[in-house]
Amino acid sequence: MKKSIRIFDTTLRDGEQAPGCSMNISDKVRVARQLEKLGVDVIEAGFAIASPGDFESVQAVAAAVDKPIVASLSRAVKADIDRAWEAVKGAKRPMIHTFIATSDIHMEHKLKMTREQVLERAAEMVAYAKSLCGHVEFSAEDASRSDIDFLCQVLETVIASGADVLNIPDTVGYSTPNEMAALITHIKKNVKDIDKVIISVHCHNDLGLAVANSLASVGAGATQVECTINGLGERAGNASLEEIVMALTTRKDLYEVAHNIDTQQIYPTSRMVSSTTGQPVQVNKAIVGENAFAHEAGIHQHGVLANRMTYEIMTPESVGISGNKMVLGKHSGKHALADRLVSMGYHLTDETLSGVFEEFKKLCDTKKNVDDRDLEALVSEATHTESQFYRLENFEITSGNLIEARAEVSVSLDGQMKSEKGTGDGPVDAAFKAIELISGKSFKLQTYRINAVTEGEDAMGMVDVTMDIGGKSYKGRGVSTDIIESSIRACLDALNRAI
């Protein structure tokens, strides 16, 4: 019988820590439901003590899903553990995930604790967490740079204290595949009762090795992998769920392990997370990138036409990319739209669905056919608008190559209309200047990207921006068939995320 690998998804916690990728409660619940549909075994819903908003989000996710374990992160501190338990106790399968650093550099400079103090704290707090919750995970932060004998001592101690899962993080992405495999092998051979617990790994991507390190750990005996959708996370990100899962699936001959992921939900989940966070997926991203299954070279095209396996080791359909998208048009009804959105993983309230349907009808007046990518864009816009402080009402632009660009933008704030005029180097700059006057906030545009959502001259334009607001970076996304409107919506989205 094949060994089963648990997939621990931390998109809602570690993924959200990526600059500008914060999500509100409704965002997190929507993504959590899609992660359940994807088949992940564990959802780390947040860091409950970090803020009231994080606590409420963890609570909401705990109530929203049935099958996955729902975890909250906590430091090895009693107040953190109490808060984590309060947040997850309503889940059908709750878990407390507590951690403390075990590397000398972290203990000396961050914790200001001795090895003996860390050992005592780890044992005490795991036991306390276990007294509250039947399922406890312990992480030895910076495990890959820890003294291996001390690390094994800590792991043995927390097993005795009641830990069910031991996580071995490569916290700063320093390790290599051979080192991670050797570390897991050593732990399996030298830690008492290690066969009674799940061994997990959590690898960061600072050297681009997160997926390779995770797979090497699985090969050495790890039975849980912690990862995120699209590899989101701090710095260079985390191990990418889609890459790990498809490597295990495609190379069954090598890994000989099973998992519970419905691979056909990978692409829809990737799109939803990208849309929700405003973080675009790079075009050459493995598995879910725009070019992942594209073939331009003549010799490749010839081979694929003769036999797809010549240049495709997996099919687009296996990860949920269908070449036969259901196309909706102006004669489609609300029920057909709702059915299609549910199949895409979107469970909208009646109010939000009505708003999406209204925008869908408007889009049908400018586009002949509306496909899934258009619908994703409309839902993204509608769900962001639900929680927006600033909402675009209308705008007027005057621009030309011989005149200074002028923009008048009208925005509603708490039901009150506010309009301002701005001038700039072009129509987008002028509109942004008007928004600065409306908001009373100065901001600096850091990045600006335009992409067509679909093909053709009637394609919807998607604008992604990163803006410095008050010294912090926030991402924003806007969609429309008018690129200026997309830009204005993206700017307002970033402002709303800042709020």
* Number of neighbours of residue 50 by Cβ within 10 angstroms: 18
Range with the lowest mean pLDDT among 114-123, 147-156, 332-341, 478-487? 332-341
> Tokens 């750990």 sit at which residue?
217
pLDDT of residue 294: 67
Range with the lowest mean pLDDT among 136-150, 191-205, 298-312, 347-361? 298-312
Cα gap 260→252, rounded to integer Å: 14
What are residue 391's phi and psi, to 5 degrees?
Answer: -125, 130
Residues 6+ positions from 29 with CB-CB distance below 8 Å:
57, 60, 61, 64
What are residue 457's phi and psi, to 5 degrees?
Answer: -70, -15
pLDDT digits (tens, 9 = 90+) for 326-352: 567 777 788 888 888 887 777 788 888
pTM over 0.75: yes
427, amino acid identity: P
Dihedral, CA of residue 262, residue 264, residue 269 and residue 272, to nearest 10: -150
Question: Residue 297 — very low, low, confident or very high, per pLDDT cuts 50/70/90?
Answer: very low
Bridge partner residues of 137 (DSSP):
97, 165
Range with the lowest mean pLDDT among 40-44, 68-72, 277-281? 277-281
Q: Work out the angle between the directed axes of helices 334-343 and 372-386 (0-180°, nearest 10).
A: 90
Cα gap 234→15, rounded to integer Å: 7
Does 438 score more than 90 pLDDT? yes
Cα gap 441→422, rounded to integer Å: 14
What number is the average pLDDT over the span 381-392?
72
Cα gap 492→196, rounded to integer Å: 51
pLDDT of residue 295: 46
Q: H or E element: which one contains 193?
A: none
Bridge partner residues of 201 (DSSP):
168, 225
Does 41 score more than 80 pLDDT? yes
> In Å, what is the CA distance from 269 to each residue of 5, 144, 387?
20, 30, 22
Bridge partner residues of 226 (DSSP):
8, 202
Residue 354: closest CA among 372, 341, 371: 341
> In Å, what is the CA distance from 370 to each residue of 6, 304, 330, 337, 414?
38, 29, 9, 11, 32
pLDDT digits (tens, 9 = 90+) for 238-249: 999 999 999 999
